[in-house]
């Protein structure tokens, strides 16, 4: 995702955290993407973080193929 | 008759003018490149690029001024298609330069407004395999 953002001249701060750590990272966010394997947490995370940014589950095909550019597309679409 | 181009034969002078047109094309590209740099928030490089392109550009502008002054003083230049072409490139370059400066300022504003950085967080399971996507 970082490579793809750089190639497209998008200034993006992208990081990954474990679910239990999310509460420590709830500063200003634009997008919160959830790994498909923890999609059952979506409602909980929405309740916790929806005021901070858009919450969605990562597209499982893009996830499975490790397509960072596709996930970045998903994140950008969510901010529009 | 005076011209600002060196060389006695018309062919040589046309060669010079053709070279001038190519030079302007080059500067137009540099101005566009400067916009590209500003787009990725490399403002220092963007301003530097404009300054660099400007050095030759100012010279070309002087050349045009001289042609105009010569004609105003009654020394008529014969106008070739290549001279017209050169003048066309000069004007294009001038427009692109002005717009490039405006756009660089706009990108600077955009960055200040925080429209620049997008913050994304990926929530992983305990295995952290999602972090491979970063």
Structure tokens at B71: 């004609």
**Is B129 at the interface with chain A, CB within 8 A?**
yes
- Cβ–Cβ gap B133/A53 under 8 Å: no
Q: Among B7-16, B27-36, B70-79, B114-123, name the one with the lowest average pLDDT.
A: B7-16
Q: Residue B5 above 80 pLDDT?
A: no
Identify the burial level of B113 via C-beta atoms within 10 angstroms of its C-beta, where 0-12 means exposed, 13-18 middle and 19 or more buried.
exposed
Active site residues of B: 85
Q: Which of B43, B8, B126, B29 is nearest to A17 (CA)?
A: B126
Distance from CA of B37 to the nearest CA of A (A): 9
Predicted TM-score of the model (pTM): 0.50
Question: Alpha helices, DSSP H only, in chain B?
Answer: 10-39, 43-72, 81-112
Average predicted confidence (pLDDT) for chain B: 82
According to the model, what pLDDT value does residue A40 have?
Answer: 92
């Amino acid at each position: 995702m970082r490579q793809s953002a750089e190639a497209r001249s998008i200034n993006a701060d992208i990081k990954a955290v474990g679910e239990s750590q999310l509460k420590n990272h709830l500063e200003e966010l634009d997008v919160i993407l959830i790994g498909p394997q923890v999609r059952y947490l979506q409602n909980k995370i929405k309740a916790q973080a929806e005021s901070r940014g858009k919450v969605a589950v990562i597209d499982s095909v893009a996830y499975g193929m490790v397509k960072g550019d596709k996930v970045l597309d998903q994140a950008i679409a969510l901010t529009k | 008759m005076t011209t600002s181009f060196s060389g006695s034969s018309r062919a040589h002078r046309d060669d010079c003018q053709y070279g001038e047109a190519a030079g302007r094309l080059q500067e137009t590209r540099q101005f566009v490149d400067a916009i590209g740099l500003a787009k990725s928030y490399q403002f220092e490089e963007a301003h530097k690029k404009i300054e660099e392109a400007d050095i030759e550009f100012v010279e070309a502008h002087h050349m045009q001024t001289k042609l105009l002054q010569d004609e105003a003083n009654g020394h008529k230049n014969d106008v070739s298609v290549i001279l017209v072409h050169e003048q066309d490139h000069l004007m294009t370059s001038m427009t692109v330069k002005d717009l490039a400066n405006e756009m660089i300022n706009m990108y600077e504003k955009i960055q200040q407004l925080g429209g620049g950085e997008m913050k994304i967080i990926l929530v992983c399971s305990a295995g952290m395999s999602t972090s491979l996507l970063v």
